[in-house]
Amino acid sequence: MPLLEIAGLSKSFPGVKALDAVDLAVQPGEIHALMGENGAGKSTLIKVLTGVFPRDAGETRLSGQAIAPKSPREAEALGISTVYQEVNLIPHLSVAENICIGRQPTWIGTVRWGAIAKRARAALARLDLSLDVNRQLSSYSIAIQQMVAIARALDVSAKLLILDEPTSSLDKTEVDELFRKLRILRQDGLGIIFITHFLEQVYEITDSITVLRNGCRVGCFATKELPRLNLVSHMIGRNLGQVEALEHTRASTATIRSETPMLEARAMGKKGSIQPLDLDIRPGEVVGLAGLLGSGRTETARLLFGIDNPDQGTIRINNQPVKFRSPRTAIRYRIALTPEDRKVAGIIPNLTVRENIVLALQAGRGSWRRLSITEQEKLADRFINSLGIKTPSREQIVRNLSGGNQQKVLLARWLATEPKLFILDEPTRGIDVGAKAEVEKLIQSLRQDGLAVLFISSELEEVVRQSQRVVVLRDRRKVDELTEAAISEQAIMESIASHSSERPEA
């Protein structure tokens, strides 16, 4: 008997059928991947399952019992625990408090701190983890916080654990660690639903895959019997040939306009952030910045965009020495940056698509030279069309768009400023395969238009595919620079690994 059985589950929002008679079965002791593009209905399915949204039709059985939780709390009590993409914990509380909050053991109204610590330790022990449970959560790395979130989910005698994009902010070693723990849980007979955009991880850890597309179930497959390309084509609903073409395009160097770099950094560094490094980016060139999470990639981008100020070295733009005090100065030199963390530093969530798109251009013009509404609308429409931003209207609030479309809005915001150097920090993180391909295509067309691009990504194959030159960072230091034919995943991994195996701080 399956642990979880969902049959004919449907959910509509005004104007959209988000889930259309979806079936799903998870066996005990199984890790089950839920795959699909952004907007395919994965999150909606999870939210209906855990009682965030009421369902329109269909039924859910847990261990044979029909269930219909009305809130995540009720779902938890039934044994369905969820760990969301963004760690939903409270950074300023201790690890123990985070694990037990909301169900803290009390004695006539007072909290029993000793019992809390004990319970937290027990929950962590199940993950083979021992931490100082009294330390503040934020003092641990994101990876550890993620584990704490899972420990919290397990603390309520869970039968089914749902992990929504648990690995999107973890580096390779941390992912391995997480997977080791998931295997322990699998052996304990837990059912695990695993949602991710990383295909390799799906093949590494899951037993079966359910693919959703446009709110419908495409099918359920055993992971071993489903070739990767077939999976992708199921997800995006295109045929295999197109997918293969995408995988095999490899950027050429033909477009480099001149040997004079657009940007030239010499011994640029900042104490405690990144060791001095040299970096050249020429017009028409994509430079990849590779390295593990925390190796100094984002820090480098921050220096180049004026968010942090370098305390040593020089930056020259078109041979002019420059000093950036703030992003505003960098923007004046036609530099653009889409940040790693879209939610925190990217989108303005409650403003409209139009307002988000015109923002940087308008900021550059200052408040007096306001773009008229007609100009703004034209600009917004142009980018909505050219980047294929899926939105009901340009006046839609950006928060309501899917991740991939939010990313496109950010790209549009910067393209509107007609930059000469575009720094893309993890532009494809957390977005679906289709949108990823579009972003990659866009980067190539920017390059052909003569832009200089600095491309930062955790996905090595992407870096390899996109870049004419790859700068490898490790432990906040530049350790290698690969060009042209020397660029391969193998080479990058070797140069990351070759310089001692000490782990970087996350």
Partner 1 sequence: MSDWLSDLIFWIVFAAILLGLRRQRIFWTVGALGLLLLFNQFFTPGFFHLQVLDGHLYGSRIDVLNQGAKVMLLSLGMVLVIATGGVDLSVGAVMAIAAAVSSRLLVTQHLPAGVAIAVALAVSILAGAWNGLLVAGFGVQPIVATLVLMVAGRGIAQLITEGQIINFLDPTMVYLGNGHLLGLPFTLTLVVVMLLLTHFLVRRTALGLFIESVGDNDEASRYSGINAKQVKFLVYTFSGLCAGLAGLVACSNIKSADANNIGLYLELDAILAVVVGGTSLQGGRFYLVGAVVGGLFIQTLTTTFYAKNVSSDIAPVPKALVIIAVCLLQSEVFRTRFARVLSPIEKFLKPVGSWLPRHLPTTARHDSPKS
Q: Which residues would be at the binding site for partner 1 (CB under 8 A)?
A: 13-16, 18, 36-44, 305, 307, 326-328, 331, 337, 339, 344-351, 355, 358-360, 362-371, 392, 395-397, 399-403, 413, 432
**Among residues 239 and 367, whose Cβ is nearest to partner 1?**
367
Task: Look up residue 437 and give its two tokens.
Answer: 């391909």
Q: Which is nearer to partner 1, 39 or 79 (CB)?
A: 39
User: What is the Cα–Cα distance from 153 to 147, expressed in whole angstroms?
Assistant: 10
Cβ closest to partner 1, residue 131 vs residue 351: 351
Residue 239 CB, shortest distance to partner 1, in Å, is: 23
DSSP string, 121-166: HHHHHTTT----TTSBGGGS-HHHHHHHHHHHHHTTT-SEEEEEST
Q: Give the integer Cα–Cα distance in Å for 26 and 22.
A: 13
Q: Which is nearer to partner 1, 32 or 413 (CB)?
A: 413
Kindly state the smallest distance separating residue 345's Cβ from partner 1, in Å.
5
> Could you tell me how many helices (H) and strands (E) the chain has, helices first?
17, 22
Separation of alpha carbons 488 and 235, rounded Å? 27
Closer residue to partner 1 in complex, CB, 37/299: 37
CA angle 435, 346, 368 (to 5 degrees): 120
Angle at which helices 403-415 and 373-386 pack, to 10 degrees?
Answer: 120
Nearer to partner 1, 58 or 364 (CB): 364
Shortest separation between residue 396's beta carbon and partner 1, angstroms: 8
Amino acid (one-letter) located at 95: V
**In the complex, least distance from residue 357 CB atom to partner 1, rounded to whole angstroms:** 11
Token pair 């070693």 in the structure block, residue: 173
Give the DSSP letter of residue 399.
Answer: G
Q: Is 134 or 350 the residue whose CB approaches partner 1 more closely?
A: 350
DSSP H helices in 333-402:
353-365, 373-386
The two beta strands, 320-322 and 312-317, are antiparallel
Shortest Å, Cβ 283 to partner 1: 22
Least gap, CB of 71 to partner 1 (angstroms): 14
CA nearest neighbour of 171 among 498, 483, 429: 429
Residue 407: CB minimum distance to partner 1, A: 13
Closest approach, Cβ 442 to partner 1, in A, equals 19
Do 151 and 127 form a contact (C-beta atoms < 8 A)?
A: yes
Q: Which amino acid is at 186?
A: R
Between 147 and 317, CB nearer to partner 1: 317
Burial group, residue 453, by CB count within 10 angstroms (0-12, 13-18, 19+): buried
CB of 317 to partner 1, least distance (A): 16
Which residue's CB is nearer to partner 1, number 180 or number 328?
Answer: 328
How far is Cα 230 from Cα 243, in angstroms, rounded to an integer? 9
